[in-house]
Amino acid sequence: MSLVIGLTGGIGSGKTSAAKFFTSEGVDVIDTDKIARKLAQPHGSAIPSIQKSFGKNFITTNGALDRKKMRDLVFSDGASRRQLEAILHPLIRTEAVRLTALASSPYIVIVVPLLLETGDYREIVQRILVVDCNEENQVARAIIRSGLNEQEVHAIMATQISRQKRLEQADDVIVNDMEMLHLQKSVGILHQKYLSLLNEY
Ligand code: ATP
């Protein structure tokens, strides 16, 4: 059995950046956000179910999910958000499991933003790695990355598990409050740790 690390963290905490550094170390990284985007691309495998549940209005003329329209809906309507998640999450998990089986590096990193909120990946991951940063950095970085405004970022943070609860469940934590080079070094140190743990899994 190989070691699978579940990498998580709040919006804008630095998950994608940390994942890139793991890739540079030669680790196979599976990004569930990327899988989700693929599922909702033109004629992606989630499109028929989305159309059935939400109607043609949410599908663009080229057969993709109309992201802006869907974002506006799920932002204001929790039931719709849960409905969309009920379609996407099982498909994402299935694809993540498939990619895990194909991976060939000594251990694998799966990036799952809502790892601790959903519980879907408990049986897949052996260790939980949390990327953490202070709220000020988090909000500023989330705004830069996503183009959302401060209020919107706070609204998303309110739907996510609290920073404290996330940290309580972590096996490993990367503190991402310094410059990128520091993040890269932190990933390098953890990489060595994970390699040294391989015979335990
Ligand atoms: P999201 O949840 O929004 O997908 P994320 O957790 O994947 O975000 P990143 O995309 O890695 O986070 O980082 C968010 C933004 O902050 C990016 O623009 C990234 O370049 C920047 N960033 C991340 N870490 C640092 C750092 N240590 N110093 C400066 N900028 C950083």
Average pLDDT over residues 171-193: 98
Question: Is the per-residue pLDDT at 76 higher than 90?
Answer: no
Find the 197 Cα to ligand 1 centroid distance in Å.
28
Q: What pLDDT does 118 receive?
A: 85
Find the 170 Cα to ligand 1 centroid distance in Å.
19
Helix (H) or strand (E) segment spanning residue 52: helix 47-54
Q: What is the pTM of this model?
A: 0.93
Tell me the best of 8, 13, 15, 17 to mutate to test the pocket of ligand 1, counting ligand atoms within 8 Å of each CB and taking the most. Answer: 17
Angle at which helix 78-102 crosses helix 32-39, to 10 degrees, equals 110
Average pLDDT over residues 94-113: 95
Is 12 close to ligand 1, i.e. is its CB under 6 Å away?
Answer: yes
Q: What mean pLDDT is reported for the chain?
A: 95
Q: Which of 73-82, 91-100, 124-133, 158-167 has the lowest mean pLDDT?
A: 73-82
Q: What pLDDT does 119 receive?
A: 82
Residues of the chain with CATH 3.40.50.300: 1-27+105-201
Backbone angles phi, psi at 91, to 5 degrees: -65, -40
Question: Is the per-residue pLDDT at 91 higher than 60?
Answer: yes
Q: What pLDDT does 174 receive?
A: 98
CATH architecture entry for 1-27+105-201? 3-Layer(aba) Sandwich (3.40)
Q: Which of 17-31, 48-62, 70-84 has the lowest mean pLDDT?
A: 70-84
Question: Is the per-residue pLDDT at 177 higher than 60?
Answer: yes
Q: What pLDDT does 1 receive?
A: 57
Average pLDDT over residues 61-84: 93
Q: Whose CA is nearest to atom 8 of ligand 1?
A: 12
**CA-angle at 89, arms to 118 and 2, nearest 5°:** 75
Identify which of 144, 106, 128 has the alpha carbon closest to the alpha carbon of residue 6. Answer: 128
- Residue given tokens 């990193």 in the structure block: 109
Residue 2: pLDDT band (50, 70, 90) is confident
Question: Is the per-residue pLDDT at 154 higher than 60?
Answer: yes
Q: Whose CA is nearest to atom 20 of ligand 1?
A: 17
Other CB atoms within 10 A of residue 190 CB: 22
Q: What pLDDT does 120 receive?
A: 85
